[in-house]
Structure 1
Amino acid sequence: MRYCLALDLKDDPILIARYEEFHRNVWPEVIQHLRDHGVVGMEIYRLGIRLFMVMETDDSIFDADRMARAEQSNPVIRQWESLMWEFQAPTPWTPAGRKWIPVNRIFDL
């Protein structure tokens, strides 16, 4: 299945540059965590401070709730997420306590 999500970055060119650098060198434990939970592909795009993620999953494995629980019990993943939150900001439409928020597809050719 394909999921499309959005998140903002803090409007600071230095922080944005650091965020992009981290994503050129994502920690191997983060990559393994994604793969272990059925994420088979992921791309992140940026326009200004807005990020768009396209995530492809193997639905025979992927379970977002199970992945979130595993994230909470993995200290390396918690450290990565905490570090990323130094750069990230919720969109104006993101509910409190959430990060990446699904976007609605409005056209499909």
Structure 2
Amino acid sequence: MQRFILFLDLQDDPELIREYEKYHESIPAEIEKSILDSGIESMHIFRFENRLCMEIIANESFSFAKKGEMDTLNPSVQAWETLMSNYQKSIPGTPEGTKWILAKNIFSLTS
């Protein structure tokens, strides 16, 4: 199992944030299928103010490169990403053309 934590900001506008959350109450079936088909087994998005944190749990076959290739070839995912871009903005310091940025794990505690 692989675990990834990513961050992204939303536009700092309460109405846009409400709309964004509404879209995520029930994502389109094609988007859910593309997520699961990539090897992602669970995904959670959390919000504080306009900052989002996403947790991805994926199987060992998952890679961001593979997911990116799949997304590029999927018109439904491209339309979803275009729509979501109206609400999202990159965190300062994020590489050009990148929305979600992968967090670096700096501490772990397990029993």
Instruction: Output the TM-score relative to the length of structure 1.
Output: 0.95
Aligned Cα root-mean-square deviation (Å): 0.8
Q: Give 4+ residue runs of structure 1 displaced > 4 Å after superposition.
A: none
Q: Which residue in 1 is equivalent to 2:108? A: 108
Q: Which residue in 1 is equivalent to 2:43? A: 42
- 1:48-70 deviations in Å (ceiling 9; x for gaps): 111000000001x2121121111
SS in 2 for 1:24: coil
Aligned length: 108
Q: Which residue in 2 is equivalent to 1:78? A: 78
Give the whole-Å Cα distance in 1 for the aligned partners of 2:105 and 2:66: 25
Q: Which residue in 2 is equivalent to 1:98? A: 98
Give the whole-Å Cα distance in 2 for the aligned partners of 1:8 and 1:102: 13
Output the amino acid matched with 2:87. F
Q: Which residue in 2 is equivalent to 1:5? A: 6
Q: Which residue in 1 is equivalent to 2:28? A: 27
Q: Which residue in 2 is equivalent to 1:58? A: 59
Unmatched tracts of structure 1, length 5 or more:
none
